[in-house]
Structure 1
Amino acid sequence: MIRRKFMVPVSATHMLSTIFFFLCSVLYCSARDTITPENWLSNEGGTLVSAGKTFELGFFNPDGSSKIGRFVGIWYYMSKPQRVVWVANRKNPLPLSDTPSGVFAIKEDGELKVLDANGTVHWSSDIETSSSSTGRVVKLMDSRNLVLSDNRSGVILWESFHNPTDTFLPGMKMDENLTLTSWLSSVDPTPGNFTFKLDQDNEDQYNIHDSFVSYWSSEDSKGTPDEMPDAILSLLSNFSKTGKPTSSRKFYNRPLEILSSKYKNTSRLVMSSSGEIRYYLNPNTSSPDWWAPQDRCSVSKACGKFGSCNTNNALMCKCLPGFKPVSPNIWKTGEFSTYAETYIKQERGVTDALECLIWTDDLTGLQDEYASDAYNLSVRVAISDIKPTVRNCETCGSNMIPYPLSSGSKCGDSTYFNFECNSTTGQVQFKVPGGAYRVTSINPETLTFVIQLKEADCSSRSLIPPLNLPFHLTDVCKEVGTDNFGSEMSLKNSIEVEISWDPPLEPVCTSSADCKDWPNSTCGTRDGTRRCFCNENFKWNSSSLNCTQGVNPAESTKPADQKSSSSSPVVVVGITIAVVLVAVLGIIGYIAYLRKRTITKRKENRANQVLHLYDSESRVKHLMDSEQFKEEDKKGIDVPFFDLEDILAATDNFSDANKLGRGGFEPVYKGKFLEGREIAVKRLSRASGQGLQEFKNEVVLIAKL
């Protein structure tokens, strides 16, 4: 009998059971909520999930980025985007090269640690009484708390609620030992600059610090939109303080306290990297339901001492009237940590309907726009500091309106009457035919002011209002809301443009009495306008706004580019004319010089000839008068005598054209007197070789002709 061996297939039921067991094992491993010394958490994808599936712990990359490193943290289970509430190794992430081998484990010394592949510790729980890992277990609770305890005694050795990062959760209690520290940025869990903690001296006050400098205080925010709601105060005390609700703030059209009761187990407080403490009711929302500081002006001492803040302005701070920035250049950059100072010693006071108080503390935390429950403040300063001319308009809130700008018929210059003061808000508006625009700043030194345009951007040039003289657009445009605050604290869809005004002419007047405040001026009419014109020897100074002797500084200090642009054609024409004139004068002078030189030479030659001839004539006369002539010779000579000038004129200065020839000794020239008689002239010289006897014979011969 032959036996056959048969391969018996595994039954389908057995295989399904095996697969089910395997999947259950995997689910058990991936969904567990505890860590033991023998069963740690690896960086290869495993996580802890709380029993109620509300929170999850594991390795993560912030915001999915792989540039910073790997961290161990706790986040809301299945949240997208991942909302992390606690981070272990925020100061020391796992390097990317070690990413596959990191572990979160209870080590032999009983400490909970984050280690890399080399065994280097990146974070430790730092338990004071650590000794052994025996019996120790880590558990992620549904309360969001990560607890390290002794499983044998039930004693809690360490918990994340006592070691928070940036988030405060229900079940925690804010005391003097607890501090929330912001992330360095929204994607970097590294400790940032901002901290939130309980005040050491006041158990009902909470403070935010920026690198140990006071940044915001719940005490200072009372009575303002920044006031901390009672629901948050209750949350911070772990619901041990439940006073009567005082906040009138509403969310989703319901009181915050009602909503807080509904979201009691899901609310949280977060110290953000941008400096706000943010309150969230629902873990699935990314927008906070309350935050503080709510705007840039809510920051503690945002504008320093004697500075006023307006969060609607790009440059939010300015000094009170009569004060100036200690460091103007720093203020222009938007850094207001320095303060404003006055020119004189000041007193401060606050008034209400019943009393006036005086105190000696510095004024800080002032805001520009009025609130219904605000106080009116009075600060004593010198009149000259806030009213340099009698024509200045009254201050509008904390805004000075300098001459010649006008907000009324009795101040400023009527040509500049384009401004209006809103006494309700304390704001100045610039009015043009197209509408009215809020003025954010006025600078009398540069003759400029800035207006704000809503619902606009710098590319929408058509939205900028048309301007008439004496106003000009300086083509400066700045986007509002580009500061370092969070999105909730920025202004959007607004721009600020800078406008300049022309220096004013003499003040308008109707009578001489109107000019009494303008020394050295008299009311008069010119070009159909009556103004306080300066007296003789004085000139209107548009910079100092008075009549002064000398040149107007406003003209001498005109910008170089403005000078060159306005005077360049005149300069070119002037230079051209000057060059041509110099060239013509030079040519004329040169020709005159040549003519004078020729005439001078001619006169010198003639003088030389005259002297030469005169010398010859003297010699002849000398010979004739000397004893060498005998008496009988003299009697035989009857020769007429002629003046030398007549002979020179008759022979044309002995020119070669009149030369007849040359005798034995000297040349002979023909000549013609004015009356027409012709003559022949023999010209003698010192070098003549003719002897005395020959000369005598020749004279006698000529005389006998």
Structure 2
Amino acid sequence: MEITMRPGLINSFTSITMLLVCIFLLFLSLAFAVQDSITSNESIKDGESTLVSASGTFELGFFSPGNSMNRFLGVWYKNEAHKEVIWVANREIPLKDSSGFLNFTQQGVLLLLNGNNEKIWSSNKTTNVESPVMQLLDSGNLVVKDGKDSNFILWQSFEYPCDTFLPGMMIGGNSQTGVDRNLTSWKSADDPGPGQFSFGIDRQGFPQLVIKNGTLKHCRLGSWNGKSFTGTPDLPRDQFLKYDFILNKTHADYSYEILRPGVLLTRLIVNQSGFVERFLRSIQNNNWTKIYWAPRDLCDSYSVCGAHMICKMVDQSHDCTCLEGFEPKSPTDWSEGCARRSPLNCTQDIFQNFTGLKLPDTNLSWYDTSMSLVECKDKCLKNCNCTAYANSNITGEGSGCILWFGELVDMREFSTGGQDLYIRMPPLKTDQTTSNTNSGKKKLLGIILGSTVLAGVLTVGLTFYIWRKKQRKQEIEEDMELPSFHLATIVKATDNFSSNNKLGQGGFGPVYKGTLIDGQEIAVKRLSKSSRQGLTEFKNEVILIAKLQHRNLVKLLGCCIQGDEVMLIYEFMPNKSLDYFIFDQTRNKFLDWQRRNLIIGGIARGLLYLHQDSRLRIIHRDLKASNILLDKDMNPKISDFGMARLFGGDQIEADTNKVVGTYGYMPPEYVVDGRFSLKSDVFSFGVLVLEIISGKKNRGFSHPDHCHNLLGHAWKLWTEERSLELLENMSDSPYSVSEVLRCIHVGLLCVQQKPEDRPNMPSVVLMLGSENPLPDPKQPGFFTERNMPEVDSSSGNHESSSINDLTISELHAR
């Protein structure tokens, strides 16, 4: 049977087919709805609907990052093979399945719920408008607006950035409201939770852009000078980017815009390795190109050179040199920094101009954006504590004033760009001139005498070197009562001292991880051949620790002395040191209160053994978080006895002209008068207790309500009967209120100003382990408001701060 269809019939059939296709697509779109805005009482369900910006650039919905099965609500670039997520709502609390949904309430609140209708995340901002609307803007900003006034934004995701900085977004903060907007890296590619690295504005002193690793500076991009940040002269700009920095009495905000928004896209992220990276791509092309990153090289690492040093890149490596007029404090350790050759005079000082620099850390600075450079110089000259000055803005002829007080830290030299810095110097010395004839005779005589003396010195020096080399080995061998390891065994165990096995670096030399043939893991402390100071500390450590055995002291396994090599072999501590955990915002979660309490008790028992129970009586003198190592079960072990001192059985205290230790842990009587005793360690222990409880460093602690260090903060809370507020947030783990308060009480007793008021370690151990009443503590040592040197603050901004921990190996006390 043959069927013939007329043209009209064919057209009708085609129309019907097209209609059916349209109906099918309509149903499909309803099943997988893509919307550009949502009104109140509507929802976005996982797997059923998304929200897309009007231009189609961004999309809001549910996703699983990397290889994770967890579900998150986020915003990403639409139509990309690799999903580049720019914002995550529930980054700390994932959904465990795909039953979650985002509800937009009548009050304008975004509410993320799981399948059991339990709240996972909320915008927590109730509005008073009648018809709120949720919309994803073309900028990538998720907003809640007034439906009747589209310019009235009630809530926006740009106020709560994650790891991505987009055009139109703003990072920085408000000193009045306490609002801080920083970027925070993901924990990993599978976990968008807040990682260890952050990127934002540090408002202490003159505001500057920094990357932080936990609470520590990782890389400092510097302060805004009107053109770029002083640490980023190569910041991409001009043809497609424009930067804006707002600085006034209350705000320090950084933002940028793209000059070709319809053609190019750009984003800046802080990644899990601590790098800030800027990417660029065209609208039509999905391939991102990295156009900028920081840190760029080793000189970008924060304070890789010590104070008053300039970092220079030479053949892919960094080199640290002292500023002119300064000399190294240590011939082998750059971190010690440099000191002035001649003291300042104050009234007759001059200023030397250094060009092409990244300006020093502005934490300890004062500024006034309205001053001229001449006024800035006069201001600095009139204050004897002012060490340097510079323009705050270099556009035009330059304007504004920054004054530095104290040490100049984290400077580098740029081949192009950089800025002028004027550093205070002592007045030039003038020598009386002599006649050319007398000068020539003196030079000739000097050459003859110098040559003779040099030959004699070289002969004596060579003889002394050979004798000392033999003597050094003999001295160490006589002091050691330890098993001996063969050099070949240690070389094999450490893979020939591979850089991959290097654990750290001290004044004595490097420390390496090794594995013996039987599988035992070891830590090898290798004495640097050029370290004279290290040899003294090395011998001191051997003499003391070789004779000590306690479960809360690190165990010395043996030594290796062969040729020029001198090494100590310790048990390996797989969990590194205490500071690795307590001062890191991510890793500190591994230390619940029970573990912290056990660590405090273990350190106390280790000190008790050193002070009383061992056959020696030892003062450690450098007790700090980085010298508390943690074994596989997180048990604490006191380490590093290079600065320890041996006391006689009836000796109470001693004096020294050489103060050693770490700022923030040393008691007042030791820093000021050079007097140390068993109570010096007690003070350091008290600081450690308060640091362990709070998760904050004593040195470098800051609080918006006052300028005390951690000891002062703890004392303030004690006097106001709010001591429990010192405890780091442990909402996910139980703790005993009485145990916490008792530990804080004991910590405050240990850090009292006068040594005689502090308990001894037997009393401390007893206090921690009992419920007996304790005496009231007196004011702590070094309890002061940290103020800057006196400066006329009638204009500008003047804030105080503290600087990073610094271990000092030589400071002559009064």
Q: Normalization by structure 2: what TM-score?
A: 0.37
Determine which structure has greater relative contact order: mean sequence separation of CA pairs < 8 Å that are 6+ residues apart, divided by chain length. Answer: 2
Q: Structure 1 length as normaliser, TM-score?
A: 0.42
